[in-house]
Amino acid sequence: MSPSNDTATLRLGDQSIDLPLRTGSEGERALDIRALRRATGLITYDPGLVNTGACESSITFTDGERGILRFRGYDVEDLVDHCEFIEVAYLLVHGWLPNAAQKASFSRLLNQNALIHEDMIHFFSHYPERAHPMAVLSAMVVSLSSFYPELGENRQEDIDLTVTRLLSKLRTVAAFSYKKSLGEPIVYPRHDMKYCQNFLNMMFSSPVVRDPVNPVLVDALNKLLILHADHEQNCSSSVVRAVGSADANLYASISAGICALWGPLHGGANQHVIEMLQQIQADGGHVDRAIARAKDRNDPYRLMGFGHRIYKSYDPRARVAKRICRDVTAALDRHDPLLDIAMELEAAALADPYFQERNLYPNVDFYTGLTYRQMGIPTDMLTVMFAIGRLPGWIAQWLELRSEDEFRIMRPRQIYVGPPQRTVKPLGERS
């Protein structure tokens, strides 16, 4: 983003201040208020940071009105159609798509770093059987910081090693935690398998089941993880940046991002979509009742997988996810009654003035959860899948933050509305 010649003038009584406008590489304009408080004593008030640009970034571009999502300039659909997930991970972290040699070296590093320290495997045994896999994932990621060195010098080799270590081990932790939750022996990663195939093998093979991983599932997983790979300053990425801005290490920052992603309004929505559809099914499949509840102001019920802060048209990720979902269903020749309910619900919502007036469309979580379900991923693991996909984005955001000239701790202000100053009464005199 470069400063432009334009300024906006703010008038406060007889005082006026010129605030520069800045323009991004896709023409997005922003008011630069860095001088505001110093010049006027004012701060801005923007709950939910709906109008606030917290940083400049060259990673991801979104245009919510036109339904555009690009990573480093490439349309997400183009990447889904032509790349594997690890190429997109490389793109986000490094800024360019790898050539054949770079991809081979990245794959090699991912394989070399796939195991987790054997002592960490004992941790899984001490979680309650019903522990949510996102709690386990977040705890295991922050624990990695006690087993592996922090990113020190920011030298390229350190970055490559730390990045591949995290990308590779997150996948291993996720699969191990699933196996432990089943009470089955863990399946170790294999050097002869690529990233997505390796994950599915760790999830679904066992000493008694050694079926080869279905290439349809490998392809679908590559595509779904790409859809999740980054989404500019969303809640969890902002958390990763906020924690990183306190100079916390990468593992701690990512662990915090995992916790943020878990929330049902964010990545946790994919689990809640499935639970909502199951509830509709259990209630006889009446999508109209779900729509009526979602519209009722006195009912906190929302259509999960619908609506988005940025997208005021169809979420481009949801469009691709719907296509992948149909392809997987056809290739596996499976019928999922929840998919029928989902499509009926989508059609009913899109035809309803409440959803039309508010520009509420399916978001990424509406069809991705259904696709993972077809692939055999259990419902409480769905947000873990989102986390595996989002990891390269979080890492890229963290690295970008650390390379900023203006690297400063993130520390918003507030408008205090509590009681004015008062004095402490002795204990016996308090009402």
Clarify whether 94 is annotated catalytic: no
* Residue 363 touches ligand CMC, criterion: CB under 6 A: yes
Distances (CA, A) of 412 to 124, 229, 244, 341: 37, 27, 15, 43
* Residue 306 touches ligand CMC, criterion: CB under 6 A: yes
| Per-residue binder mask for ligand CMC (CB under 6 A), 29-68, x = binder | -------------------x--------------------
Of 223 and 302, the one with the shorter C-beta distance to ligand CMC is 302
Of 110 and 396, the one with the shorter C-beta distance to ligand CMC is 396
SS3 category, 357: helix
Given a contact cutoff of 8 angstroms between Cβ atoms, the answer to whether 46 and 31 are in contact is no
- To ligand CMC, the closest distance from the beta carbon of 11 in angstroms equals 30
* Residue 265 touches ligand CMC, criterion: CB under 6 A: yes
Name the active-site residue from 231, 365, 380, 405: 365
- To ligand CMC, the closest distance from the beta carbon of 373 in angstroms equals 16
Interhelix angle for 215-228 vs 195-204, to 10°?
A: 110
* Residue 230 touches ligand CMC, criterion: CB under 6 A: no
- To ligand CMC, the closest distance from the beta carbon of 53 in angstroms equals 16
Dihedral over Cα of 55, 57, 62, 65: its sign: positive
* Residue 358 touches ligand CMC, criterion: CB under 6 A: yes
Place of tokens 């999922």: 336
Ordered strands of the 68-71 beta sheet: 60-63, 68-71, 74-75
Q: Taking contact as CB under 6 A, which single stretch among the options 323-331, 361-369, 370-378, 416-424 is the one that binds ligand CMC?
A: 361-369
Given a contact cutoff of 8 angstroms between Cβ atoms, the answer to whether 307 and 365 are in contact is no
Given a contact cutoff of 8 angstroms between Cβ atoms, the answer to whether 103 and 90 are in contact is yes
Among positions 120, 239, 360, 381, the unique one binding ligand CMC when judged by CB under 6 A:
360
> If we measure between CA atoms, which residue out of 383, 170, 178 comes closest to residue 260?
383
Name the active-site residue from 308, 327, 333, 336: 308
Phi then psi dihedrals of residue 133, to 5 deg: -60, -20
- To ligand CMC, the closest distance from the beta carbon of 268 in angstroms equals 8
Of 171 and 272, the one with the shorter C-beta distance to ligand CMC is 272
Integer distance in angstroms from the first to the last C-alpha of the chain? 57
Among positions 67, 307, 392, 393, the unique one binding ligand CMC when judged by CB under 6 A:
307
Given a contact cutoff of 8 angstroms between Cβ atoms, the answer to whether 110 and 164 are in contact is yes
Of 247 and 296, the one with the shorter C-beta distance to ligand CMC is 296
- To ligand CMC, the closest distance from the beta carbon of 369 in angstroms equals 10
Of 7 and 278, the one with the shorter C-beta distance to ligand CMC is 278
Q: Taking contact as CB under 6 A, which single stretch among the options 64-72, 150-158, 244-252, 303-311 is the one that binds ligand CMC?
A: 303-311
CA distance 71 to 379: 28
Of 169 and 228, the one with the shorter C-beta distance to ligand CMC is 228
CA distance 348 to 286: 11
Q: Taking contact as CB under 6 A, which single stretch among the options 12-20, 108-116, 260-268, 411-419 is the one that binds ligand CMC?
A: 260-268
* Residue 267 touches ligand CMC, criterion: CB under 6 A: yes
Q: What is the DSSP code (8-state) at residue 209?
A: B
Among positions 163, 239, 248, 364, the unique one binding ligand CMC when judged by CB under 6 A:
364
Clarify whether 365 is annotated catalytic: yes
* Residue 308 touches ligand CMC, criterion: CB under 6 A: yes
* Residue 334 touches ligand CMC, criterion: CB under 6 A: no
* Residue 365 touches ligand CMC, criterion: CB under 6 A: yes
Among positions 110, 137, 202, 269, the unique one binding ligand CMC when judged by CB under 6 A:
269
- To ligand CMC, the closest distance from the beta carbon of 256 in angstroms equals 16
Q: Which amino acid is at 234?
A: N
Phi then psi dihedrals of residue 325, to 5 deg: -60, -45
256: left (phi over 0), alpha (psi -120 to 50) or beta: alpha
CA distance 315 to 360: 10
Q: Which two tokens stand for residue 334?
A: 């499976």
* Residue 231 touches ligand CMC, criterion: CB under 6 A: yes
Distances (CA, A) of 103 to 27, 108, 166: 33, 8, 17
Q: How many CA atoms within 13 Å lie on the side-chain side of 366?
A: 29
Catalytic residues: 308, 365
- Which residues are near ligand CMC by CB under 6 A? 48, 231, 234, 265-267, 269, 294, 302-309, 358, 360, 363-365
